[in-house]
Amino acid sequence: MATTLNTPYRAIFCDLRTDRTIDILPLRDVTVDDYIGKAGSLSGTIPVPNAEIAARVRRIEEGRTSVYLQRGGDLWWGGIVWTSTLQSDDKGVLTLGIQAATFDSYAGRRLIRAKTPAYDAGYQLALSGDQLDIARALWRDLQTGLPGGDIGVSYGTETSGTRRSVTYRDGDETGYLDALDALAALEGGFEHHITVYADPATGARVRRLRLGSPRIITGSTDLVLDRPGTVLSYAFPRDATRGGTTARARGASTNSDQASESRPLASTVAVATDLIERAGHPRIDLTSDHNEISDAATLTALARTELAAATGAVVIPEISVRLDDLVPPALLGRTARVRITDEWFTEGLDARYRIIGVKVEPAQRGRPDTAELYVEEA
């Protein structure tokens, strides 16, 4: 369906750094998704029927304009417009297609560097303490270390009880998002996500870094989803090509002598002994590369973590639900109780899942607003 100002959805365009509203414009053919631990995306098309609208649309500048998708009175998505495409069809109809990514994508565009324009071989960003304090410190350094970096992301006070020490050097060109992801991926790590919402007291838009160890949890009660009922369709894909029963992680080269062969540091092999020796599964090997890591213990911990996340066949169920007043905007991290009765689940499925990804599709002719939920066992 074309998303216009007469629908429950509004596209609010703002200045990225100040959050000052630039305009509210119609947005058609909208698809939007969001995930825990990785950037979500938005795509849509702005119709340009006349010169007046064209003048307004020209104020959207890629890389410095943010966009929020509002449904009713709630913010469902927020991020940065990174690319656009101006198109004219054979009838002269103009449109501007936009592609945006959630605010955590900004950290993927920033590199850890010295706080002066010159290269500083001695510069180090050394951080130690609770791993969630380090995660906040990375975002704080990103936003306050150099002019122009502040995009208004605020922080909480979550703690994990797990201490880390990390160091980043000028010239390594380590991305802030890469540093954050590497820290989160360690054994006993955490999850991160930037959520957007309207402050209930002031109505101001908020961009907030959420952290959870080991997982982000939203809400204290289960969201009940029934089929027949709110659940429109579902899929339970099982993929053994993405899983395994052993894992090894490789790190930085251990050889500084350029005259001899360079070999990466490797972890010990993590093995899912229960599956191989007791359940009869075959040996299937996983491997991963982490060129920035030169500590064997850290690599071994990574191998164990990666095996735990991909043991056997990988299953990420997908559940399509009707968006109604029973489905809240803050879905990521929420626990859903899914109850299905059909020919496959003749005795009824009654299971609890945690929502780790959401894809929203506005209504089309004959179909209501829907959300595709990507879940894992709670």
- The pLDDT tens digits of the residues spanning 152-208 come to 999 999 999 999 999 999 999 999 999 999 999 998 999 999 999 999 999 999 999
CA distances to 109, 182, 234, 237, 329 from 344, rounded to whole Å, are: 46, 40, 12, 15, 30
How far is the C-alpha of 299 from the C-alpha of 181, rounded, in Å? 14
CB 368 within 8 A of CB 322: yes
Q: Is 283 helix (H, G, I), strand (E, B) or coil?
A: coil
3-state secondary structure (DSSP) of residue 251: strand
pTM of this structure: 0.89
Q: For 41-100, what is each residue's pLDDT tens digit?
A: 999 999 999 999 999 999 999 999 999 999 888 899 999 999 999 999 999 999 999 999
